Amino acid sequence: MTGNREIRIEVPVLARVEGEGALDLVASGGRIETLHLRIFEPPRYFEKFLEGRGYEEVLDVVARICGICPVAYQMTAVQALEQAFGVEPSPWVQRLRRLMYCGEWLQSHALHIHLLALPDFLGFDNGIAMAAKHPDAVRRGLRLQRLGNDLIKLFGGRSVHPVGMRVGGFHRAPDPEQAARVLAELRSALRDAEALVAFTAGLDLPEDDQNFLSVALRHEHEYPMFSGRIVSDGGLDIPVEAFPDRFRESHVAHSTALYAHLDDRPYLVGPLARLNLNHDRLSAPARAALAATGLRLPSRNMFHSVIARAVEIHEAVLEAIRLLEDYRPQEPAFVPVEPRAGTGFGATEAPRGMLWHRYELDDGGRVLSAWIVPPTSQNQARIEDDLRRSLEALGLHHDDDALRQRGETVIRNYDPCISCATHFLKVRVRRQ
């Protein structure tokens, strides 16, 4: 079999990703000529819906951008709105927000590792089929996922589109009895999280080193989640407000998501980028578990993303225990807010990468304009770059099924969240 044959492959919608997209590939003479990650998730115009809305409505609207990471959208927006109004939430509020965010990292990462990515590495079509052969691994994943959801519910009543956050803090302090139950669950989940790190490091992952630029937030002493400066391993170190000076979004024909570049270069956001740039900020137990795997950082192998996610699950469990151990409710759970005209910026680390927001508000606190840059659109150019290199490294002489399988595996590494970005995947391979 040679890579020069004329072949056409079509797979209608890429499975195990959040949202809808496709991969178009044209190969000729054993080389890839064009490669498009085609995102056709319908546009939903959120930035326009926000115009004219009161600041109190923003968190309920932006949550609906994504069912998997609504907390990330709420956290980023609330930060921007509070900055615009000059509101400083109490350290108590900030601690609890970080705790709630740990819940989203846990549920999103556990979902991605076990139901979306792991079937690729263990040779199954889907997580449900995999559960019959690997019941313990899948059940461990489902336990961690549920724990994440329980943690979000503590603050928001439900894990999808939670209702508890407001500008200035929370509508209500979490119930101490419920908090104590979640703390007990977190403590018993520590063993699951440690085992998961070792388990992912033991997977037979492809070796495929590539050169790429990692971008993430960096905080003085915390593992980045909720705040920090925007840094890269290429020397970038800028405040959140300076994002538009260095990052550019552009629109291409094959995608309803906008492409982002840093100084005209593709870049990576997400767990591996965060770990590459911030592994020194992990807590001591998470660092020890990571060291035991023998993973060398920074890693240039995108397939290590699954290990990075497990490390972040471990860190999230440790951090959540730390934040919840001395929990005392405070009422009111918010500081009063006086709207004023101005502009506010927010950047946080959503499970799948940095999320950036900018809002302009009038003196009544109404939104004049909103600008949202989701993680998946930032990764889109990097994914295409990776696909091109990975498929050529694998060798185009492989049959269509093997190429399609590798292509899908590469894309899933990024945990693309296409509903967020549209503002994702059929695979079409054409060989000429």
Task: Please pick, from the candidates 404, 423, 428, 431, the single residue that binds other proteins as defined by CB under 8 A.
Answer: 423
Asked if 123 touches other proteins (CB under 8 A), the answer is: no
Nearest alpha carbon to residue 151 among 160, 139, 159: 159
* Cβ closest to other proteins, residue 230 vs residue 421: 421
- CB of residue 222 vs other proteins: minimum separation in angstroms? 27
For other proteins, the closer of residues 278 and 419 by Cβ is: 419
Largest CA distance in the chain: 70
**Per-residue burial over 417-429, b = 16 or more CB atoms within 10 Å of its CB, e = otherwise:** bbbbbbbbbbbbb
Residues 6 or more apart whose Cβ sits within 8 Å of residue 407? 23, 25, 387, 390, 391, 427, 429
The answer to whether 216 and 231 are in contact (CB under 8 A) is yes
Residue (282 or 350) nearer to other proteins, CB: 350
From residue 157 to residue 176, the character string flagging contacts with other proteins as x (rule: CB under 8 A) and all else as - is xxxxx-xx-x----xx----
Decide: is 24 part of the binding site for other proteins (CB under 8 A): no
Q: How far is CA 384 from CA 157, 210, 268, 401, 413, in A?
A: 38, 13, 11, 19, 12
Q: With binding defined as CB under 8 A, does residue 188 bind other proteins? A: no
User: What is the smallest separation between the CB atom of 4 and other proteins, expressed in angstroms?
Assistant: 30
Binding mask 139-158 for other proteins (x = CB under 8 A): x--xx-xx--x------xxx
Rounded CA-CA distance 200/118 in Å is 9
Per CB under 8 A, the segment of 34-42, 208-216, 270-278, 387-395 that binds other proteins is: 34-42
42 lies in the site for other proteins, by CB under 8 A: yes
Q: Which of 9, 13, 321, 341 binds other proteins (CB under 8 A)?
A: 13
Judged by CB under 8 A, which of 19, 224, 344, 416 binds other proteins?
19
| Residue among 78, 81, 106, 138 that touches other proteins (CB under 8 A) | 138
Q: Residue with structure tokens 């590939």? A: 25
Alpha carbon of 368 to those of 51, 85, 124, 173, 342: distances in Å? 5, 14, 48, 31, 10
In the complex, minimum distance from the CB of residue 321 to other proteins, in angstroms, rounded to a whole number: 21
Rg of the chain taking only CA atoms, in angstroms? 21
376: CB partners within 8 A, 6+ apart:
257, 352, 353, 414, 416, 417, 418, 420, 421, 424
Q: Are 371 and 358 in contact (CB under 8 A)?
A: yes
Residue ranges in 51-80 that form contacts with other proteins under rule CB under 8 A = 53-54, 57, 60-61, 64-68, 70
User: Closest CB to other proteins among 19 and 346?
Assistant: 19
Taking the least distance from each CB to other proteins, the nearer of 73 and 223 is: 73
Decide whether 23 or 230 has the Cβ nearer to other proteins.
23
Q: How far is the CB of 26 from other proteins (least distance, A)?
A: 19
Give whichever of 162 and 353 is closer to other proteins, judged by the CB atom: 162
3-state secondary structure 141-195: HHHHHHHHHHHHHHHHCCCCCCCCEECCEECCCCCHHHHHHHHHHHHHHHHHHHH
Alpha carbon distance 177, 174 (integer Å)? 9
167: tokens are 């500008």
Nearer to other proteins, 98 or 423 (CB): 423
Got the DSSP string for 216-259? EEE-SSSPSSS--EEEETTS-EE-GGGHHHHEEEE--TTBSSPE
* Position among 8, 31, 48, 265 found at the interface with other proteins (CB under 8 A): 48
Binding-site residue total for other proteins (CB under 8 A)? 69
List the interface residues with other proteins, window 274-303 (CB under 8 A): none
Q: Which residues bind other proteins (CB under 8 A)?
A: 11-20, 40-45, 47-49, 53-54, 57, 60-61, 64-68, 70, 107, 111, 115-116, 119, 125-129, 131, 138-139, 142-143, 145-146, 149, 156-161, 163-164, 166, 171-172, 250-256, 258, 419, 423
